[in-house]
Amino acid sequence: MVATASSLEARFRAAQDALPAHARVARAAAMFAWARDAIRREIRGRDSAMSEERLKWEAALRLYGADATARGLIQRMIDHVSGARRIGCLTHARNLQGEHDCRYKRPQTREQQRGEENKNSVHGLISKLLTGITTSSL
């Protein structure tokens, strides 16, 4: 008897349906891990110097990049592990399409940090208030 594609598929479906739920989930997880590892090997083949952390996020971008929300979150992590805090947002530097909320800004100097802390402190608020009163009373 020659097996046709439809008869093989029917036998495969019957065998899958006969598996208990935990075995189907384990099989799906194993297939997902295999696909993820194949993507990682492909990326590693193009850039052997890439860090393991960045490789993890680049693979995630390939897997989930079709979803705009996931793509934005993953891109932030790629920017973070690539040192975007030091050089600005890599997403802007790469000129990728799409909007994203760039939270990886250049670090502030100590004076800028103190100024921000002062603005947000009670002392800073009182200073602003007194400055406003002084300039408006003149």
Q: Residue 1 and residue 120: Cα distance in Å, rounded? A: 81
**What percent of the chain is modeled with pLDDT above 90?**
40
Residue 79: count other Cβ atoms within 10 Å of its Cβ: 24
Q: Is the pLDDT of residue 23 over 60?
A: yes
Q: Residue 16 and residue 43: Cα distance in Å, rounded? A: 32
Let me know: does 65 contact 74? Beta carbons within 8 Å.
yes
pTM summary value: 0.51
Sign of CA dihedral 23, 29, 35, 41: negative
Amino acid sitting at position 18: A
Residue 32 has what DSSP assignment? H
